[in-house]
Amino acid sequence: MRRRSLLALAPLGLVGACGLVPGDSDRRTVTVWLMKDSASQDFLRRFTERFEHEHTDLRLDIRIQQWTGIGAKVQAALDAGSGHGPDVIEVGNTQVPQYVEGDRLLDLTLESLRWGRSDWLPGLAEPGQQSAHQYGIPWYAANRVVIYRKDLFAKAGLTAPPRTREDWLTATRRIDSGGVQGIYLAGQDWYTLAGFIWDEGGDLASDRDGGGWRGTLDSPAALRGMDFYRRLQALGHGPVGSDEEHPPQAGVFAEGRVAQIVAVPGQARAIVQRNPGLKEKIGFFPVPGRTAHHPGAVFTGGSDLVVPNNTRERDGAVAVVAALTGATWDTDLARTMNYVPNRKSLAKAVAGEDGVAAMAAGAAQGRATPATPQWGAVEADNPIKPYMTKVLTGADPATEARRASRRITDVLNSLG
């Protein structure tokens, strides 16, 4: 996923080959591209020192990249001659499909089985797969939770966060009075809508019928998801014609008259910066599911690590990926950066931080956008947003869903 900085993190600088012994010229260099704000400088220093101590024939050259323009830069690196590009690259989890094309990524299926693939978060692992082969190895995740006002819940007689979607509606309805919005949910927050659609068993697009990818917003399951979104969105004054960034919902929450928003936990920091009086009043809970047995499905953003096929340091690159995504360093990264670890079994590692713990619980039900290289073009055109606005302003959902689904299909097919 190309992120607008999911969490407020300190900027990083270029990390070179730390911990080398002077004169140790026999080491082979493994070049690693990591994205700005993915890991702290201290984490990368500690990792480099330990890795080079344990792999005396290798040195690390970690180069920090900017998200802006990274797609074209990665494409060029994958097409470069052997040995002229990075050996390991961090990519957004939903970007992996576009890089797989042309046999340009190393197939890491066998390695993934040894590394515990069955325990990985599905929202990170599934976009990294193609035809049952694993190319992207999950590194870390972040996803939406419900950020709420504990004091407003208590004032309404609510002693615990809701665990089912119907209870969520009931609780929100009780709070939505007296000048307080039960929830602020923008009309075009399509990532949140996607979670409700997935919860119902639907999807944004599908290739299951063998006829290629097509939009599926008009399926009965997707329509049920949109109907729940409509009922929830009505319990506040979110603008029906814009998304959660216009205006930024953290700023609206900070004004003090909103009980809930659906956002990554890192937005709580922005809220408190604008309104310090809310610091002790903010809580978090996972987006509720259809039943109390597990949280609702959520879009999982984050990063995978890939190895280009044109690497000259295959074994060294695989060793770096194994170390960074292994339990020890992945847990360290999650604690350092307030991320969700890449494995469901590691959720306990972040249990002490309420926002991250809620995020980790939701991540176990995480999903990603359709795993087709053309999905980026759909997001650029994004017929989902106007579809949502039309439904929220009274248009027939089935009619508008068919129209939006046809547009998604056309965009996918226009790119082959």
Which among 293, 284, 288, 290 has a CA at the least distance from the CA of 163? 288
The contacts of residue 97 (CB under 8 Å, 6+ apart) are: 127, 130, 371, 372, 373, 375
Return the amino acid letter for 123.
Answer: G
Other CB atoms within 10 A of residue 146 CB: 24
**Could you tell me the sign of the dihedral formed by the alpha carbons of 261, 267, 268, 272, in that order?**
negative
pLDDT on residue 166: 98
How far apart (Å, rounded) are the C-alpha atoms in residues 292 and 315? 45
How far apart (Å, rounded) are the C-alpha atoms in residues 190 and 195? 9
How many residues comprise the chain? 416
* Sheet strands (E) in 135-242: 137-143, 145-149, 205-206, 214-215
pLDDT on residue 415: 56
Which among 362, 21, 373 has a CA at the least distance from the CA of 205? 373
Q: Mean pLDDT for each consecutive 10-residue tract of the chain (416 residues)?
A: 38 38 73 95 97 97 94 94 91 92 94 96 93 95 96 97 98 96 98 98 89 94 98 98 96 98 94 97 98 96 96 97 98 93 94 93 94 90 97 98 97 77
How far apart (Å, rounded) are the C-alpha atoms in residues 74 and 25? 29
Return the amino acid letter for 326.
Answer: G
How far apart (Å, rounded) are the C-alpha atoms in residues 127 and 134? 9
The contacts of residue 233 (CB under 8 Å, 6+ apart) are: 183, 185, 187, 240, 392
Quote the tokens at residue 197.
Answer: 């659609």
How far apart (Å, rounded) are the C-alpha atoms in residues 80 and 17? 23
pLDDT on residue 24: 60
Angle between helices 220-233 and 165-175 in degrees, nearest 10: 20
Return the amino acid letter for 221.
Answer: A
